[in-house]
Structure 1
Amino acid sequence: MNELKRKSYELRKDIIEMMYASKAGHVGGDLSVVDILTVLYFEIMNIDPKNFEDPNRDRFLLSKGHCADALFAVLGERGFYDKQEAIQTFSKYNSKFIGHPNTEVHGVEINSGSLGHGLSIGVGMALAAKMNDQEYRTYVVLGDGEMAEGSNYEAMMAASQYHLDNLCATIDVNGLQISGTTDEVMSTASLANKFADFGWHVIEVADGNDCMQLVDAYTQAMQMKEKPTVVIAHTVKGKGVSYMENQKSWHHGVMNEEQYKQAIREIEEVLA
C-alpha cells in the first residue's frame, strides 16, 4: 500500500470517530472527498502549518463546505492543530469545529457552506496572484450536485477570460446528493464538455479515490499554461465503508454502535 492511500484510510478512521462522537456530519461526502484532500495536502500544495500567513502559500477552498469534517481531520493530521480536539469537539456546543469550514479554525482560508461560492472566490484569489506577481496556486473543491449553482458558470467564464493557469478546480463526482442522484436532480453528465466549452483544460480521473491517479492529474495541471484546469474526479460516496457506499441515505447519517464498529473494522482491515 502506498503512503498516500494509507494516510487516506487513517483519515477515514478519524472521520468515522468524529462522526460517531458528534452524532452529526456528512459522512458519505467526507469519505468520497478525503483522497482528494489527502493528495492535495500531503503531496501537492505548498503550505506550512507553522507559517500559514506566508503570502506565497497555496490556497485551498472547500466549496462543498458540508464536508468540513474531512477537512478538519486533514488539517489536524497535517499539523495545524491537535486533531483530537477536532474529533472530540466537532459539532458540539462552543466548539470552533462546527458543521462548515470557518476561519476560526487554523488553516481554513474562507467560511463556506452555502454552495456555489467557492469557485468565484478562487477566481478572485488566482487573479490577485497574477496582478501581484505571486507564485501561489489556488485549489477549489466542489461537489457535483453543487454544479447546479449558476454562479459557478460565471466563475468558469471569468477564469478562462483571465487565463488563470494558477487555478485548479476539482469536482467530486460521487453521483449522489441529499435528494437523490445528480442525474435525477440536475444532470451533470456533460461536465467535461461544459468546462471545455468555457475554455478550461479538463482532466478526468476515472477513479477519484485512487491517490496515484490524483497525483498524476494535479501534476499535469501544474504544467498547463494559459488555461485554468478542472479535475473531474469520479468517486464513490461513502468509500471505504461497505454499507455506506453509493447510498443516498448516508449523505448525512448517524451511526449506531454496531455500524460504527463495522466501519472501524473495515477500515482497519485495509490498513492491516
Structure 2
Amino acid sequence: MLDKNKVKELNIFAIKIRIETIRQIATRGFGHIGGAMSICDVLAVLYGDVMKIDPKNPKLEDRDWFVCSKGHAGPAVYSALALSGFFKVEELKTLNQHGTNLPSHCDRTKTPGIDVTTGSLGQGLSVATGVSLGHKLDKKNSYTYVILGDGECNEGQVWEAALYIAQKKLSNLIAFVDYNKQQIDGYTKDINDLGDMRQKFEDFGWYALSIDGSRVEEIEKAIEKSKAQNEKPSMIILNTRKGAGCSFAENILNNHHINISMEQGNEAIEILENKLKTLMSN
C-alpha cells in the first residue's frame, strides 16, 4: 500500500512523463499523442516504484521485463526511461528523426531500456509469453509486464496468447489493457465491441481486475493483488481517457495520430507545469 508521499511522488512523475511526451511530439510536429497520454500513470507506477530495473545496467540479468505491445505509445515509454536515467532527457528531442535512437515505435536494438521491439499490433503478448515462460523454466524471480491497447485486442493473436498463458499458469506475467475506448477509426464499441474486457480475460483463465487507470494508488494496489494470488496470469483493465492530460487532445475523437504545432505543445505543457507546481507545493 502506498503512503501519501509515495502517491504524490508518482503523480509528479506521471505529469513529468506527460510533459516530456508532449514536448517530443510537438518538436517532431506529429505523432501518436492519444494513446501515449493514456498510459502515463501506469508507466509512472511501473518505472517509479514497481519494476526491478537498473538504468545503469539495462540488460540486468534478473530484471523485470516490460513490453509495450501498443508500440506506437513509445514516446511515453521513452519519457519514462529518460526521466529514470536510462539516457539523457535531451535525447527526447530527436524522436523519429534521422539517426535517432528513438523511433516512433519501440525498438530494442536502438533504445536503452526497451526489452522488446513492438509496433505490429497483436504480437507483443505472444513475445511476452516466451519471455515469461523462459523465466519460469529458468526459475528466475522476474516479472514480465505488458501493456496492450483496447483496439489492439481486436487481433486474434492476442486471444491465442491469452489461452496459452493461462494454460501454462504464467503467474509471473502481469498485463494491462489501456481501455481508453478509442482506436484509430473511432470508438472501440462501434468498430469491434469487445464487451466486458475483465470478464473475457477471466473466462480465458486469468486473474482479472478492472480499475481507474488514472489513479496511481489503484494501479499499485492491483499489481500487489496480482502478485499475491500467484496462481494465474493477471490482467488489469485500466479505464483511461485517450489523450488524458493533454489539453488539445483529450476531448477529441480523432487524436490517435495528429499534427501538433509547437505553440499547441507549449500551451499544453504550461497547463501541466502549473499543475505540477501546485502538486509539489502541497
Q: TM-score, normalised by structure 1?
A: 0.96
CA shift for structure 1 position 256: 2.5
Aligned partner (choices 127, 136, 139) of residue 133 of structure 2: 127
SS class of match (2:14): helix
Does the CA contact (< 8 Å) of 1:217 and 1:231 recur in 2?
A: yes
Does the CA contact (< 8 Å) of 1:25 and 1:67 recur in 2?
A: no
- Are 1:82 and 2:88 an aligned pair? yes
CA shift for structure 1 position 242: 3.2
Q: What amino acid does structure 1 have at the position aligned with 2:60?
A: D
Matching residue of 1:225:
230
Matching residue of 1:22:
28
SS class of match (1:115): coil
What is the CA deviation profile of residues 114-137 of structure 1, one whole-angstrom value per residue up to 9, with x for unaligned ones? 000111111111111111111100
What is the CA deviation profile of residues 182-223 of structure 1, one whole-angstrom value per residue up to 9, with x for unaligned ones? 001111222111101111000111x20111111111111111
- Are 1:4 and 2:10 an aligned pair? yes
Q: What amino acid does structure 2 have at the position aligned with 1:165?
A: S
**Take 1:100 and 1:235, find their aligned partners in 2: how far apart are those partners?**
21
Does the CA contact (< 8 Å) of 1:28 and 1:237 recur in 2?
A: yes
**Take 1:91 and 1:24, find their aligned partners in 2: how far apart are those partners?**
10
Aligned partner (choices 168, 180, 183) of residue 189 of structure 2: 183
**Take 1:223 and 1:139, find their aligned partners in 2: how far apart are those partners?**
15
Q: TM-score, normalised by structure 2?
A: 0.93
Matches for 1:52-71 after TM superposition, within 5 Å: 52-71=58-77
Matching residue of 1:253:
258
Does the CA contact (< 8 Å) of 1:39 and 1:211 recur in 2?
A: yes
- Are 1:235 and 2:240 an aligned pair? yes
Aligned partner (choices 194, 199, 204) of residue 193 of structure 1: 199
CA shift for structure 1 position 257: 4.1
Structure 2 portions without partners, runs of 5+: 1-6, 278-282
Matching residue of 2:121:
115
Identical columns (%): 36
Root mean square deviation, CA, Å = 1.2
Q: What amino acid does structure 2 have at the position aligned with 1:221?
A: S
Q: What amino acid does structure 2 have at the position aligned with 1:34?
A: C
Q: What amino acid does structure 2 have at the position aligned with 1:31?
A: M
Runs of 4+ in 1 over 4 A off after TM superposition: none
